[in-house]
Amino acid sequence: MEHSIYKKWAAEFIGTFWLTLGGCGSAVLAAVFPGSLGIGFLGVSLAFGLTVVTGAYALGPISGGHFNPAVSIGLAAAGRFKASQLAGYIVAQVLGAIAAAGVLFLIATGKPGADIGGFATNGYGEHSPGKYGMTAALVCEAVMTAVFLIVILGSTARRAAGGFAGLAIGLCLTLIHLVSIPVTNTSVNPARSTGVAVYVGAAALEQLWLFWVAPIVGACLGAQIFKAIRPTEI
């Protein structure tokens, strides 16, 4: 096995670590803060987008900057990524998310009377911020991930404006969070969902299946839509 693959795995680990720590950290530590207004949904949405923008430009040249199992699977479905590399990428991404959630857990519980609440987990029904049901959560996660893949594929195509892919992808993720935080607390990323669920357990783990199935289905759907509409020369 080429040594370079280990560097790609390391980049995916670090990128997913940063996405989970920055995005979920903003939700757990700063979204609502006693004595202040907090950053709210808008701030959390922007935080997730910024982690992707910064991670993509810093680590994208090494691994492609997926930081998300659904993205890796969608890129493979679109013919942009070798299916033989999927397992390594997904393992690195999930481990990165779990490690980040562990660091966040240590920080969040580092004061007297600390209460981590939902710990930025994803859910439906009683565990949805807006109490949306399972069907709404499935549709939301699948559609949002499909659009995310279309943006990723389009902005990284050969004829796309050079150097702007990371910005387009990060802004897309920001918009996705602005729309879907009330529905599922926004996943579109099975690794991010798994990382925090491990530390909450119970319902977060029981409902985790949806936040693997829906993003992966959505990513594959987005890949097929893009393949159907793209000009042959890109």
Number of domains in the chain: 1
Phi first, then psi: give them for residue 32, nearest 5 degrees.
Answer: -130, 120
Identify which of 229, 212, 56, 47 has the alpha carbon closest to the alpha carbon of residue 150.
Answer: 229
Residue type, 176: I
Q: What is the CATH classification number for the domain harbouring 160?
A: 1.20.1080.10
Count of other CB atoms within 10 angstroms of residue 10: 15
Amino acid 125: pLDDT: 97
Query: What pLDDT is attached to residue 234?
Result: 54
Is position 133 within any domain? yes
- The CA distance from 55 to 91, in Å, is 18
Burial class (CB in 10 A: 0-12, 13-18, 19+), 135: exposed
Cα separation, 128 vs 27, in Å, equals 15
**Does residue 31 form part of some domain?**
yes
Residue corresponding to tokens 């029981």 = 206
User: Quick one: pLDDT at residue 162?
Assistant: 75
Model pLDDT, residue 124: 97
In a domain, 83, yes or no: yes
Q: CA nearest 89: which of 44, 59, 131, 126?
A: 59
- Alpha-carbon distance of 47 to 188, in angstroms, equals 15
Q: Is residue 140 part of a domain?
A: yes
What is the distance between the alpha carbons of residues 212 and 232, in angstroms, rounded to a whole number? 31
DSSP category for residue 28: I
The residue range of the domain holding 202 is 3-229
Which parts of the chain register pLDDT below 50?
Answer: none
136, part of any domain: yes
Q: In this structure, are residues 128 and 191 in contact, taking their beta carbons and an 8 Å threshold? A: no
Residue 197: the pLDDT is: 98
- In this prediction the pTM is 0.94
In a domain, 234, yes or no: no
